[in-house]
Amino acid sequence: MYSWSLESIYPGFDSPAYKQDIEKLDTLIDELKSLANNLGNHNSQENLVNIINLNINLSNLVNRLSQFISLTLATDTTNEVATNQMIMLNKKIVQTTHPSTICEKYILSIENLDEIINQHPLLKEHEFYLKEIKEQGKYLLTDEAEVLVAQLRQSGSSLWAKQWSSLTSTLEVDYEGEKISLSKVRNLAYDKDPEVRKKAYFAELESYKKIEKSVAFSLNGIKNEVITMAKARGYQDPLDKTLKDSRLDKEVLDALLESMEESLPIFHKYLKRKAEMLGHKNGLPFYDLFAPMGNSQKAYTIEEAQEFIIKHFSSFSDNLAALAKKAFDNQWIDYLPKLGKRGGAFCAKIHPIKESRILTNFDGSIGDIITIAHELGHAYHNKIIFEQSILNSRYSMSLAETSSVLCETIVKKAAINEANTIDEKLAILEQELQDSTQVIVDIYSRYLFESKVFELCEKQFLNENHLNEMMKEAQLKAYGDSLDPNYLHPGMWINKSHYYSGGLSFYNFPYAFGLLFSKGIYAKYLENGPSFVHEIDRLLANTGRMNISDVAKSIGIDISQKEFWKKSLSLIEEDINLFMELTKEMI
C-alpha cells in the first residue's frame, strides 16, 4: 500500500500490451510521414482533421509509453531494461520531428484558417492549438537555418550549459577539514546550529573562486546566443520571447512585478524580526536567511497523513477530497524513500488512462504532509484536464502550480491552526514564510539580475567581478535593509541553474506568478465561498486552451490590474502579521 502500482499503465515491459503499443508507435510514425508527404493530395480541412487525429493518437501513445518507463526508473534508477527502453523510445520519437515540422509549416500556409476551423467541430475544439502553431510560426527561420541553429547550439549554449553543470556538480568545497559537494554545503544553510550555517556560508563563497571565471564565460556565452537568436527570429528581446512562450502579456508581468516591489517592506518587516530574534543588529546576514525557527517534533504515520489531508480537503471541496481518497485507495502514490529511488517529489500525468502517479519521500513530518497535498493538487488539475483532448492539455509553467499551491495553502493553514504549541505553530509558519520570501523577494532579485545581464552583456564581457557586484546590487534592491549589507550572497549567480539555458530565459518570474495567482484564487474562494469551487474547476479546464489572461478572465479575474496581485500578497501579509504576533515576546 505504500508503493504505487503501474499495472493500469502496463503490467510490464514483457506484457503483450506494451509490446503491441511499441509496434503501434512505429505504425503511427509511418502514418505521420505519409501524411506529411501527401498533404497536396487533399483539401485543407481534410489535412487539418488528419493532422489533429494523428497527433492525438501519437501524443496519447507516447505519453503512456514514456510515463511507464520514467515512473519505473523513478523508483529504480538502476533498472537497465527501463533505461534501454527509454533510449529506444527517444530514438523513435526523433523520427517525428521532420514530418511534424512539415505539418506545422503547412498550417502556417493556410490563409483562411479561421474559416476552415469554424466549419468542423474537431478543428473548432482545437482552435487554440492550431492558432498557436500559426502564431509561433512567425518566428521560425528557414528549414536550412533551423537545422543549422540546432547544430550550432550543440557547440554553443548546450555546451556552455554542460560546462556549468560539470563545474558546479564536481566542485569540492573545503569545509571543516573535509571536502564536500556544493549541494551538501548549501543544505547546511538550514542547520539548527548557527555556527554551522555561518561556516558553511563562508566555505561556499570561498569555493566559488575556483570556478567563477569559467562560469562567467558560460553565462556570457549563453546569454549572447539567446540575444542573437531572439533578434534573428523577430522578437524584440529575450523577455519578449519568454512572454510569448509563456502565453503572458507584458502588461500582466508589469502589474505582477510592480505589486511585488510595493510589497517588499512587508517581507522586510519579517526578516528584520527574524534578525532580531537571532541577535543581529544590522539586518539578517545571508547565512541566517534559512535558519529554522520554532520546533515541530510531531511525527505522522502515512495513514494519519491521509486522514489529515482528506479532512481538510473536504472543507474545501468534496470532489477534491474524493480525488485524494482515490489516489490513496488505488495506489497512485509511492511514499517511502529507498535505495535506488530518486529524491524529491512530483506528480505524473497519464492522460490515456486518466490517472496520475505521485512520488514522495515521506518521513513523517508535517512538511511531508504538505508535500503530498501539493502533489495531489497537481493530480486534481490533471483530473480536470483529462476531460480535454491531450492536445489541449499543455499549459505554461506560470499556471502549472495553480491547483498545487492552492491545495498546499489549504493544508498549511490547517496545520498552523491545529498546532498544539506556539513552538510547533512557529516552525510551520516560518517554513511557509521562508518559501514565500524566496518566491517573492529573492525571485525579484533574480529577475533584476538577469535583466541587467541581458542589458549589458551585448556591450561588454561580464567577468566574475562584474557579476558579483550586479548580484549584490540586485539583492540590496530586493531585500533593502532587511539583509546585512556586509553579508550578502554575491555568488548566487553561480549556483542557480535557471540562468544557464539557451532555450529558457527568465526562469524566475513564473514561480512568483504561480504562487500569487494561486493565492489570488484562494482569496476569491474566501470571498465567495464554496460556490466558487466550480469556477476554479472551469479555470483549470481552460489552462491548456487559452492564453493566461483569458484563462483568468474566464472566471472574472483581471490579472493586468495590481488589485488582484495585492489581494494575493495580503494573504502572505496575514502570515507575516501572525509571525510578528507569535514572536513579539521572543526578542
Kindly report the CA angle at 544 between 68 and 309, in degrees rounded to 5?
65
Confidence category of residue 73, pLDDT binned at 50, 70, 90: very high
Residues 426 and 286 in one domain: yes
Mean pLDDT computed over 423-440: 93
Q: How far apart are CA 278 and CA 488, in angstroms?
A: 17
Number of separate domains in the chain: 3
Domain assignment present for 329: yes
Domain assignment present for 569: yes
Residues 66 and 124 in one domain: yes
Confidence category of residue 298, pLDDT binned at 50, 70, 90: confident
Domain assignment present for 481: yes
pLDDT for res 144: 83
pLDDT for res 329: 97
Residue 587 scores a pLDDT above 80: no
Q: How far apart are CA 375 and CA 67, in angstroms?
A: 16
Q: How far apart are CA 439 and CA 408, in angstroms?
A: 15
pLDDT for res 199: 97
Q: Contact, 257 vs 563, CB < 8 A?
A: no
pLDDT for res 338: 87
Q: How far apart are CA 154 and CA 157, in angstroms?
A: 7
pLDDT for res 367: 87
**Residue at a domain's end among 84, 114, 140:** 140
Residues 564 and 579 in one domain: yes
Please, how many CA atoms are within 13 Å of residue 147, restricted to the half-sphere of its CB? 6
Mean pLDDT computed over 492-515: 93
Residue 550 scores a pLDDT above 80: yes
Residue 2 scores a pLDDT above 90: yes
Supply the CATH number for residue 122's domain. 1.20.140.70
Q: Which amino acid is at 521?
A: I
For the segment 22-62, what is each residue's pLDDT rounded down to a tens digit?
999 999 999 999 999 999 999 999 999 999 999 999 999 99
Residues 506 and 586 in one domain: yes
pLDDT for res 388: 95
pLDDT for res 403: 94
Residues 291 and 301 in one domain: no
**Residue at a domain's end among 125, 140, 155:** 140
**What domain range includes position 543?**
219-296+422-587
Domain assignment present for 235: yes
Q: Contact, 58 vs 96, CB < 8 A?
A: yes
Kindly report the CA angle at 587 between 268 and 442, in degrees rounded to 5?
20
Residues 267 and 289 in one domain: yes
Least confident among 25-29, 143-147, 290-294, 488-492? 143-147
Domain assignment present for 208: no
List 174's β-bridge partners, or say none.
179
pLDDT for res 67: 98
Residues 302 and 284 in one domain: no
Mean pLDDT computed over 247-271: 97
pLDDT for res 585: 84
Residue 541 scores a pLDDT above 90: yes
Confidence category of residue 475, pLDDT binned at 50, 70, 90: very high
Confidence category of residue 582, pLDDT binned at 50, 70, 90: very high
| Rounded alpha-carbon distances, angstroms, from residue 452 to 243, 437, 469 | 17, 22, 11
Largest CA distance in the chain: 80
Task: Locate all alpha helices (DSSP H) within 210-365, ordered by sequence.
Answer: 212-233, 238-245, 250-277, 302-314, 318-329
Mean pLDDT computed over 392-397: 91
More confident residue, 443 or 138: 443
Residues 324 and 278 in one domain: no
Mean pLDDT computed over 515-526: 93
Confidence category of residue 94, pLDDT binned at 50, 70, 90: confident
The mean of the pLDDT values for the chain is: 94
Strand runs labelled E in 390-468: none
Residue 118 scores a pLDDT above 80: yes
Domain assignment present for 190: no
Residue 297 scores a pLDDT above 80: no
Domain assignment present for 264: yes
For the segment 178-202, what is each residue's pLDDT rounded down to a tens digit?
999 998 999 899 999 999 999 999 9
Q: How many other CB atoms sit within 10 Å of the CB of residue 51?
A: 23
Residue 371 scores a pLDDT above 80: yes
For the segment 139-166, what is each residue's pLDDT rounded down to a tens digit?
988 878 887 888 888 889 999 999 998 9
Residues 348 and 279 in one domain: no
pLDDT for res 150: 83
Residues 287 and 302 in one domain: no
**Residue at a domain's end among 112, 140, 168:** 140
List 334's β-bridge partners, or say none.
359
Supply the CATH number for residue 580's domain. 1.10.1370.20
Percent of the chain with pLDDT over 90: 87
Domain assignment present for 168: no
Residues 547 and 476 in one domain: yes
Q: How far apart are CA 399 and CA 401, in angstroms?
A: 6
Q: How far apart are CA 84 and CA 326, in angstroms?
A: 32
- Secondary structure string (H, E, C) spanning 100-164: HHHHHHHHHHCCCHHHHHCCCHHHHHCHHHHHHHHHHHHHCCCHHHHHHHHHHHHHCHHHHHHHH
Mean pLDDT computed over 16-27: 98
Residues 280 and 307 in one domain: no
pLDDT for res 339: 84
